[in-house]
């Protein structure tokens, strides 16, 4: 991965300002600055997913390499949670491709089974939902309100209890439950609309 020279002037900018500068100028040093800020966090998520440092490093590099295209393609309101979602998507696709996640049902499959109108009979030995459905789910999670997104991710991905999420976020117990229920309803609406539009194309 190669970055343009002298990225020091970017250090004082916010994440969104760095992204906007890249979208305007195409300055590869912007990707280098984002890498400096978030490489350790992205690698941490990849290690948590794969349990293998070498594999996690390869996936993490792929995440940042994808930014050269995706930062131009998508409108990003909050970079950090968006990057978190992108990282999980890359991990999911890598694990599905290698079939190394076959010992347990993924968190995405669990969530989809709760929000889809016709849930699948999931088993650790099958492939669960297809990659395109998983991709659409992760994008939809990234578009949720911050409260809904944080509670959904902590409940399903981190497998935290309502009380643990309350302690971590400062939301009341009822707010946590409401964020999760409303988030699931919003995800269902998005995925249902996407599925129906795909059928009519």
Domain's final residue, options 43, 78, 101: 101
Does residue 118 belong to any structural domain of this protein? yes
pLDDT for residue 144: 87
C-beta of residue 155 within 8 angstroms of C-beta of residue 182: no
pLDDT for residue 65: 92
pLDDT for residue 194: 58
Instruction: Output Rg (C-alpha) for the chain, integer angstroms.
Output: 18
Question: Cα separation of 6 and 27, whole Å?
Answer: 11
Does residue 201 belong to any structural domain of this protein? no
pTM, two decimal places: 0.55
pLDDT for residue 89: 83
pLDDT for residue 5: 45
C-beta of residue 108 within 8 angstroms of C-beta of residue 54: no
C-beta of residue 190 within 8 angstroms of C-beta of residue 140: yes
Average pLDDT per 10 consecutive residues for the chain, totaling 201 residues: 58 92 92 93 86 86 92 86 88 69 64 77 59 82 87 85 91 95 93 61 45
pLDDT for residue 75: 81
pLDDT for residue 142: 82
Domain's final residue, options 72, 101, 130: 101
Do 91 and 127 lie in one domain? The reply is no
With 0-12 / 13-18 / 19 or more C-beta atoms within 10 angstroms meaning exposed / middle / buried, residue 77 is exposed
Do 95 and 3 lie in one domain? The reply is yes
What CATH number is attached to the domain comprising 9? Answer: 1.10.1740.10
pLDDT for residue 36: 92
Question: Cα separation of 149 and 80, whole Å?
Answer: 12
Q: How many domains does the chain have?
A: 2
Do 82 and 124 lie in one domain? The reply is no
pLDDT for residue 121: 59
**How many CA within 13 A on the CB side of residue 51?**
3
CA distances from 94 to 46, 66, 79, 97, 134 (A): 10, 14, 22, 5, 12
Do 106 and 173 lie in one domain? The reply is yes
Its domain, for residue 147, covers: 102-195
Helix ranges (DSSP H) in the chain: 15-25, 29-50, 53-73, 79-98, 107-115, 131-142, 146-152, 162-169, 173-200
């Amino acid at each position: 991965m190669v970055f343009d020279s002298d990225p020091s002037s970017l250090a004082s900018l916010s994440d969104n300002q760095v992204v906007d500068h890249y979208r305007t100028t195409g300055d590869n040093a912007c990707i280098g600055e984002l890498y400096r800020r978030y490489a350790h966090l992205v690698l941490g998520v990849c290690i948590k997913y794969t349990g293998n440092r070498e594999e996690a490093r390869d996936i993490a590099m792929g995440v940042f390499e994808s930014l050269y295209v995706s930062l131009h393609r998508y409108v990003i309101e909050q970079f950090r949670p968006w990057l978190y979602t992108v990282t999980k998507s890359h991990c999911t696709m890598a694990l599905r491709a290698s079939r190394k996640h076959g010992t347990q049902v993924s968190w995405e499959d669990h969530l989809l089974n709760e929000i889809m109108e016709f849930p699948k009979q999931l088993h650790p030995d099958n492939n669960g939902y297809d990659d395109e459905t998983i991709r659409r789910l992760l994008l939809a999670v990234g578009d949720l309100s911050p409260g809904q997104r944080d509670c959904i991710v902590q409940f399903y991905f981190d497998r935290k209890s309502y009380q643990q999420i309350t302690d971590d976020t400062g939301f009341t117990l009822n707010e946590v439950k409401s964020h999760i229920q409303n988030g699931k309803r919003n995800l269902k609406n998005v995925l249902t609309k996407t599925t129906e539009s795909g059928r009519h194309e």
